[in-house]
A and B are shown apart, each in its own frame.
Chain A
């Protein structure tokens, strides 16, 4: 189960993920990101501090936006991952394709 809250700080949209992302809850993540994009945000931060687990389907959601964001010039930065979640990203090689920061400040620095 995943709980996603969105907070806007200026022109930055912050998505806070709480819980676990598996095949079924990955749809919610996809919807949340799509909504943020459709509302015109070009700076999206994903707060992963409370993300406990992410399955390959969840990783697929992030992956699927890479090309689209590159084309549209949208910056998405993930931050605050715990070790296990970070390891999942690393094994798959997603850390090379996505921007990942240690904390919120680092993430904000990356989008600005």
Chain B
């Protein structure tokens, strides 16, 4: 808004100064003609003119120089438009003069003076407008040095304005200054970077605009001069404004840049297509790189690769062959049918062309030779490139032209870059896919963890005369530890603790199998040995080679106060006997489930029995607990376990299990223990 206000202010001040100039000059002429004494110093109208020039300079500075939205053609148009308006007004005045003919008014000096001043105002306005436009153009992509020179140039003009007011009419100084500024103007006129950024159409427009601007310049300057040369005026002219040093220099600069621009654009015309092509390449290259982030699928990357390659090298057709895991490669085509493409592919294969996938070969020559021998094909040149993703050749890009020898080395290079870039795009795309996929797996694992947690009993059955508490934690999302308790009858409860060898998902699956087996077998008051034999039979063919499950099965009879149990390779039970105040391990024979496939399993398993008394504590656990390690790589071990349990023996089962786990964490000194661990405490 402030800018707009300033622009208006300078416009108004321009008009006012021009009006003052008219009044002063006309009055001076009037005074001379009437024979009055001349009491106006010559520098006064000069200063007024200078103020007019400065007003216009700032007006155009705000109107043209500061307007960021103008492109090059818009800028030229501004210069041209000002010239057009000036010329039309000037022509109208000329027409009016013709119409007036030899009437008194036509020869009236005041009228002539007014006519001259209007033309002068137009000329100055036009010159300043063009000057500002040239400034924008010259300073496009400016260097520090250029900016300094320009600033000097501009201040120089200010100096010239002052010189015009005060200096004596010394011809030597006049020509010296004109020469100096002329040289600077020519140096500045060499800055034509903007021309390269015009496209073909813009260049033609610019040529026309520049030509017309040139015409207007010459015309208006000339018409002002003609007016001056008028015989009526010659003797009574008060002051001759338009031949000041400033005017000459400005005119020279504006003219010289106009002519230079015109010529440069003219000679640039034939090479424009090359520049445009280069620009297109850059844009296409960007499109391919950007497709990494924006495109939804690999297919759209292929699409962009095809399109950009074709448009960059002006190919007539193209296809993209992508080998997926499927047997037959997929073909994406552009302006060619799939059968045509297949014809060429098979033709090349028959001719044994192997260079297609060799990156270092000069492809343009090698392949096209073979194409000539293919009948019914409109194509005479072919260029083919392999596309690599992570070092694997996933396909190739083929470009075709109807001309023979249609591809040059430059094009080969560019398309090779495109193919590389597309390979990278696809690779990134696949990485992104993989990342998403693994994110999905993580989610799945989270669900698996929840499911597995639900497989472990939330509330453990407790009998008439005992309480159970358990704790379990997995190293991975899911684990292979299992424990459960099932009330079979009023007096009998079955307990199980098991550890599937290995960790993670496979272990978790076997653990869920075991749960099924436990729940179905233990219902029938089965003996511990029988349970183990049947469980082994059920599991042995499900477990993969090298996997096994260690388990202990207990049957607690509250009537007889007896525990019957069998151990299948599981860690020996730790038993605290209250009557003796002693802890011992229940060691006996037994091999893990899944180790022996034949019926000999029963030979290795034995059933044991003991009686319990109130206060006894039975500690079931998995090897994750005894094998937990601390920072010095020491195992928690059996001795520490015995000691810990002995200290905790008087607590409730829940407290014992919680404190045992606490102790374990304290020992390991880490937040995570790198194995599954489970404990189940039974207190009678």
Enumerate chain A interface residues (CB-CB to B < 8 A): 23, 26, 30, 56-57, 59-61, 63-64, 66-67, 91-94, 96-97
Looking at A56, A59, A60, A67, which has the most chain B CB atoms within 10 Å of its CB?
A: A56
B533 → chain A closest CB, angstroms: 14
Count how many chain B residues have C-beta atoms less than 8 Å from C-beta atoms of the other chain. 23
B569 touches A93 (CB 8 A): yes
A93 touches B501 (CB 8 A): no
A70 → chain B closest CB, angstroms: 10
Which parts of B552-579 form the interface with A (CB within 8 Å)? 568-572
Mark B493-519 against chain A: 1 for CB-CB distance below 8 A, else 0: 000000101110000000000000000
A56 touches B623 (CB 8 A): yes
Q: Which chain B residue shows the least CB distance to A67? A: B597
User: CB within 8 A of B546: which of A64, A94, A96?
Assistant: A64
Q: Which chain B residue shows the least CB distance to A64? A: B546
A60 to B550, CA, bound (A): 12
Write out the residue numbers on chain A whose beta carbons fall within 8 Å of the beta carbon of B502.
23, 56-57, 60
Question: Is residue B545 within 8 Å, beta carbon to beta carbon, of the partner chain?
Answer: yes
22 contacts between A and B (CB under 8 A): A26-B546, A56-B501, A56-B502, A56-B548, A57-B502, A60-B501, A60-B502, A60-B547, A60-B548, A63-B548, A91-B570, A91-B571, A92-B595, A93-B589, A93-B591, A93-B595, A93-B604, A94-B592, A94-B595, A96-B591, A96-B604, A97-B595
Write out the residue numbers on chain A whose beta carbons fall within 8 Å of the beta carbon of B501.
56-57, 59-60
Question: Is residue B45 within 8 Å, beta carbon to beta carbon, of the partner chain?
Answer: no
A30 → chain B closest CB, angstroms: 8
Question: Is residue B47 within 8 Å, beta carbon to beta carbon, of the partner chain?
Answer: no
Top 6 nearest A-B pairs (CB, nearest first) are: A93-B591, A60-B546, A56-B501, A64-B546, A92-B569, A93-B569
Q: Which chain B residue shows the least CB distance to A30? A: B546
Question: Is residue B596 within 8 Å, beta carbon to beta carbon, of the partner chain?
Answer: yes
Q: Which chain A residue shows the least CB distance to B629? A: A53
A91 touches B572 (CB 8 A): yes
Looking at A30, A57, A93, A96, which has the most chain B CB atoms within 10 Å of its CB?
A: A93
Chain A contact surface mostly = helix
A97 to B605, CA, bound (A): 12
Chain B contact surface mostly = loop
Write out the residue numbers on chain B whose beta carbons fall within 8 Å of the beta carbon of A61.
546
A to B contact number (C-beta, < 8 Å): 59
B592 touches A93 (CB 8 A): yes
Q: Which chain B residue shows the least CB distance to A68? A: B545
Q: Which chain A residue shows the least CB distance to B568? A: A93
New A-B pairs, 18, CB < 8 Å, besides A63-B546, A64-B545, A91-B550 = A23-B503, A56-B501, A56-B502, A56-B548, A57-B501, A60-B546, A60-B547, A60-B548, A63-B548, A63-B595, A67-B597, A91-B570, A92-B550, A92-B592, A93-B568, A93-B591, A93-B595, A96-B589
Write out the residue numbers on chain A whose beta carbons fall within 8 Å of the beta carbon of B568.
93
Write out the residue numbers on chain A whose beta carbons fall within 8 Å of the beta carbon of B572.
91
B546 touches A66 (CB 8 A): no
A100 → chain B closest CB, angstroms: 14
Given A56-B623, A91-B569, A92-B569: A97 in contact with B546 (beta carbons within 8 A) = no
A55 → chain B closest CB, angstroms: 8
Q: Which chain B residue shows the least CB distance to A70? A: B598
Given A23-B502, A56-B501, A57-B501: A92 in contact with B546 (beta carbons within 8 A) = no
A66 touches B569 (CB 8 A): no
A97 to B592, CA, bound (A): 11
Q: Which chain A residue shows the least CB distance to B637? A: A84
A86 → chain B closest CB, angstroms: 13
A94 to B501, CA, bound (A): 14
A97 touches B596 (CB 8 A): yes
Question: Is residue B79 within 8 Å, beta carbon to beta carbon, of the partner chain?
Answer: no
A89 → chain B closest CB, angstroms: 10
Q: Which chain A residue shows the least CB distance to B500? A: A56
Write out the residue numbers on chain B whose beta carbons fall within 8 Å of the beta carbon of A59.
501, 548
Which parts of B60-89 form the interface with A (CB within 8 Å)? none
A97 touches B591 (CB 8 A): yes
Which parts of B534-552 form the interface with A (CB within 8 Å)? 545-548, 550
A93 to B548, CA, bound (A): 12
